[in-house]
A and B are shown apart, each in its own frame.
Chain A
């Protein structure tokens, strides 16, 4: 076997984290994107900027704030402790919480673009045929925005796989809990285990390339359809 047991454990953990984060962001990101695409509110600018922040913010800034906020003395930490969950740093759900923020723009922005490109027309037609706004959303907007959903999900998933800095700051490097593939590679390099680092890096390189290839290969078809 080319990969060690701990490497495989790290890959599984990474896939689990990315799947959970993508799932949560589909639920959380869709209403945000929908609202951003349709609103004329003054809050559109600030909220859009807030969602996009992780694109430009150093992961260390996010990691620092999250470490304090999720710690036992922070607001999030106090809440999770009161709920009986305990503080979130060094836990799988702590990584999920951080990744939801970190990967938010990769979900919201493609969805927002998709919703905006539908325009108000199809929904007005649906309304004139007696559909409620909720009905119109599910039976008209969602199917039309399907390419956007696929792009957004793939990008969110891939971006979470590629997360490193935030995890390093709040993860505590625990095997099977917070030691994701990117951190495992870093550890291999630090310990001069270049061979293992090469193998795991190759896996991630091929994975990332294939993801992007799928995305780009699939896009032209989406336009035709």
Chain B
């Protein structure tokens, strides 16, 4: 009986602690946003104290699937504008779809000097593993595939590919030394921690479709002022500075 009482007390405490916040939103963000978003979050919390913003990172395709299945996300930051468009069409998100960045892809390595590389360098027999985000559902992986196809290397390099779940896992495959080169976003290559660990080569954006990134507020988030405030904050000066720092080209800016 004592144990039961204790259980009830603990459970009710746990329930209380989640109900205490003023307002809370959950943001699904493409994994390439991870480092930039963490800085944005700090700035946003200073500007809007007392609220809670939770961010879930993953591949955009994965978040897209999850939202369709009723995942409790209020805003969706997608590395490919096609996913928010599809959600709006299906009535699972509410227009407007607002572009926030254009992504770039790089060759990144921790064991070799990637700054002297080109895509041709990937055929070097010393490079046995090339990590890239899974093109089946990660926009950056898709663009990586397009680029390698454009220069006619995709089929030749195929035996070397390993596919990460998203940008984070792809980076981790290189970081742990299991792949010599990874195809990751410029935003990751420029991150303060990662930029100290490795070097990068910027892949020409003429080789692939643009990585037009956009966010949309989901049906669930449409009634929440905090969701709108967070979205609006993306076009603030502070955020634009952070995004530029992480190598994103901003919509409206001349490249």
Q: Which residues of A contact B (CB under 8 A)?
A: 67-68, 70-73, 77, 86-87, 89-90, 168-169, 172-174, 187, 189-192
**Residues of B close to A68: CB separation below 8 A:** 176
**Residues of B close to A169: CB separation below 8 A:** 169
* B58 CB → nearest A CB, Å: 10
**Residues of B close to A173: CB separation below 8 A:** 134, 162-165
| Known A67-B176, A68-B176, A73-B177; contact A189-B128, beta-carbon cutoff 8 A | no
**Is there contact, CB below 8 Å, between A87 and B178?**
yes
* A199 CB → nearest B CB, Å: 17
**Is there contact, CB below 8 Å, between B65 and A72?**
no
* B204 CB → nearest A CB, Å: 26
Residue B137 contacts which of A77, A89, A174, A191 (CB distance < 8 angstroms)? A191
**Residues of A close to B104: CB separation below 8 A:** none
Q: Name 9 interchain pairs, CB-CB below 8 A, sorted by A.
A: A67-B172, A71-B177, A86-B128, A89-B176, A90-B162, A90-B178, A173-B164, A174-B163, A187-B137
Q: B136 near A: Cβ within 8 Å?
A: yes
**Is there contact, CB below 8 Å, between A172 and B137?**
no
Q: B214 near A: Cβ within 8 Å?
A: no
| Known A71-B176, A73-B176, A191-B61; contact A90-B134, beta-carbon cutoff 8 A | no
A87 to B164, CA, bound (A): 17
Q: B77 near A: Cβ within 8 Å?
A: no
A86 to B172, CA, bound (A): 19
**Is there contact, CB below 8 Å, between B59 and A190?**
yes
For window 7-57 of chain B, which residues contact chain A by CB distance below 8 Å? none
Residue B65 contacts which of A70, A89, A174, A189 (CB distance < 8 angstroms)? A189
* A132 CB → nearest B CB, Å: 47
| Known A73-B177, A189-B65; contact A172-B136, beta-carbon cutoff 8 A | no
**Residues of B close to A168: CB separation below 8 A:** 165
**Is there contact, CB below 8 Å, between B163 and A172?**
yes
Chain A residue at smallest Cβ distance from B69: A189
* A82 CB → nearest B CB, Å: 15
* B41 CB → nearest A CB, Å: 24
Chain B residue at smallest Cβ distance from A94: B178
A21 to B239, CA, bound (A): 51
A132 to B178, CA, bound (A): 48
**Is there contact, CB below 8 Å, between A89 and B136?**
no
* Chain B interface main SS type: mixed
A104 to B62, CA, bound (A): 32
A77 to B177, CA, bound (A): 10
Q: B161 near A: Cβ within 8 Å?
A: yes
**Is there contact, CB below 8 Å, between A190 and B65?**
yes
**Residues of A close to B62: CB separation below 8 A:** 190
A73 to B169, CA, bound (A): 18
Specify which of B137, B164, B172 lies most central, judged by the most chain A CB atoms within 10 Å of its CB: B137
A191 to B129, CA, bound (A): 24
A173 to B179, CA, bound (A): 13
**Is there contact, CB below 8 Å, between B162 and A172?**
yes
* B90 CB → nearest A CB, Å: 11
**Is there contact, CB below 8 Å, between B162 and A174?**
yes
A77 to B165, CA, bound (A): 22
**Residues of B close to A72: CB separation below 8 A:** 177-178
**Is there contact, CB below 8 Å, between A71 and B163?**
no
A70 to B59, CA, bound (A): 26
* B111 CB → nearest A CB, Å: 9
**Residues of A close to B136: CB separation below 8 A:** 187, 190-191
| Complex interface bits, B121-159 against A, C-beta within 8 A gives 1, otherwise 0 | 000000011010010110000000000000000000000
**Residues of A close to B177: CB separation below 8 A:** 71-73, 77, 87
Q: B173 near A: Cβ within 8 Å?
A: yes
Chain A residue at smallest Cβ distance from B138: A190
Q: Which 6 pairs between the two chains have the least Cβ-Cβ distance? A: A172-B162, A173-B163, A190-B137, A72-B177, A89-B178, A191-B136
Chain A residue at smallest Cβ distance from B163: A173
A89 to B164, CA, bound (A): 12
**Residues of B close to A191: CB separation below 8 A:** 61, 136-137
**Is there contact, CB below 8 Å, between A90 and B65?**
no
